[in-house]
């Protein structure tokens, strides 16, 4: 499959995310097995999976502009708080609306 035919959510994933998905599938979706492979606790793997799910959801939404996706991903990666992300996105949307 050519890169241009890949869904946006796949293109947005980092190599580490793709490797996690590969291991997850090869281990039949067993979070316990993934925890053993990564030598971390089950809750740590669950958090990683939840963040990956959120990243996919954010990047699957077609109505999201690149800037909004960027801010949401910062929040998913715990680089900014969810509240800060919401404030930034609201401000961005209001300014975009005023431009029209």
User: Mind listing the pLDDT tens digit of every residue in the chain (100 residues)?
Assistant: 566 677 777 877 889 999 999 999 999 999 999 999 999 999 999 999 999 998 888 777 655 688 888 888 888 888 998 889 889 988 888 887 776 6
Note if the pTM is more than 0.75: no
Cα dihedral 54→76→28→26 (10° resolution): 120
- Looking at residue 17, its pLDDT comes to 93
Q: How far apart are CA 10 and CA 14, in angstroms?
A: 9
pLDDT in tens, 18-41: 999 999 999 999 999 999 999 999
């Amino acid at each position: 499959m050519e890169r241009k035919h890949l869904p946006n959510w796949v293109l947005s994933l980092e190599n580490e995310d793709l490797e996690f998905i590969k291991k997850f599938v090869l281990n039949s979706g067993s979070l316990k097995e993934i925890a053993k492979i990564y030598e971390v606790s089950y809750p740590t793997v669950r958090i990683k999976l939840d963040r990956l799910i959120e990243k996919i959801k954010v990047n699957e939404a077609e109505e999201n502009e690149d800037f909004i996706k960027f801010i949401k991903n910062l929040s998913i990666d715990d680089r900014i708080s969810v509240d800060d992300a919401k404030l930034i996105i609201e401000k961005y949307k209001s300014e975009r609306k005023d431009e029209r």
